[in-house]
Amino acid sequence: MRKLFIYFCFALLLLTQTLSAKDYTKKRDVQKFIRHMAKTHHFSKKELTRLFSHVRYQKKALAVYVPSLRPKIRKTYTKPRKKQGSWDRYEHVFLKESKVKKGVAFMHQQRHWLQKAYRRYGVEPEYIAAIIGIESHYGVNRGKFPVFDTLTTLAFEKNRRQRFYRKELEAFLLMTRREKVNPKNVRGSYAGAIGLGQFMPSNYLHYVVDFNGDGFHQMNNYADAIGSIAHYFKRHGWKKGMPVATRVHYSGNRYRGHRTGYTHAYRRVSLKGIAPTSYFPYKGKVHLIKLSRANYDELWYGTKNFYVITRYNHSAYYAMAVHQLAQRLKKAYKKHYGKILR
């Protein structure tokens, strides 16, 4: 009886997957895409037709760009929360003590590859670990979406980023062929990002390195992910030993003096009334980074290395979260192991 029940559940699962599958080969855009891949990259039309004839439509991924697909949330009374600024909320998500603790363990476990990356690319280990910590919680949350199905849905269902995802789908198919991986077996985020560092497929060709020398370039491999993140930073201008950011003081509680954000850079002499709160050995132009708290704004100087982090994710808050997590990891690692990992 138990075996019969298991068989029934398995059959039901297969039936559910079959019913939710969609034949994308009926779409003209897909037919055109298949011809393009065959002509430009010498893919087999037969094999691509087989792939696109059985795609699991990813409604959740598409709903990110199509609001009408999102489930309606029933309004209920909630107790008013303590007043928070946007940085308070961001900090609460990405800078938890549990993330620091797990990050120290991760750094120790992967110290060989982190040290190798530092020697080769000059990127400090705590910053590589911070990226992996924020992107995938050190490899725990790499994403459960089937990347081929997700990219196909986003590339051929109407949304504002169709063109972008069509290019990512092309890059993904090229990547899986190079790495001899079945496209149907790769899992990632709702946007098609893959692995510990959540690289988009288009980044594979230019930035992912075979850091452990096994002949493959895989972001789901700890060694390759660590080396690839360091390589990405180096290619975008990271300078070994350069400070990333420091907090500054100014007059008042809310800052409205100069334009803030990583797209604006200033000579420090032009920023009257602003000065670092601690020693800051950096002579280049700085970005003013404003972090909104409930009752005041924190103001920071960001260096060229801070700008490099924004090339990974175009958000000043993201870059600041990486910086602050990295500094906490560095401090906690030294406290636990008696030395800085280098």
> Would you please indicate which residues are annotated as catalytic (active-site) residues?
135
Nearest-angstrom CA–CA distance, 33 and 43: 11
- In the numeric block, the tokens 């390589």 are attached to 231
Residues 6+ apart with CB under 8 A from 182: 176
Q: Smallest Cα–Cα separation from 249: which of 232, 271, 274?
A: 274
287 three-class SS: strand
Kindly provide the b/e burial profile for residues 221-238, where b requires at least 16 CB atoms within 10 angstroms of the residue's own CB.
Answer: bbbbbbbbbbbbbbebeb
What does 88-108 look like in DSSP terms, one character per residue?
Answer: HHHHHHH--HHHHHHHHHHHH
Nearest-angstrom CA–CA distance, 309 and 322: 8
Secondary structure letter of residue 190 according to DSSP: T
Secondary structure letter of residue 118 according to DSSP: H
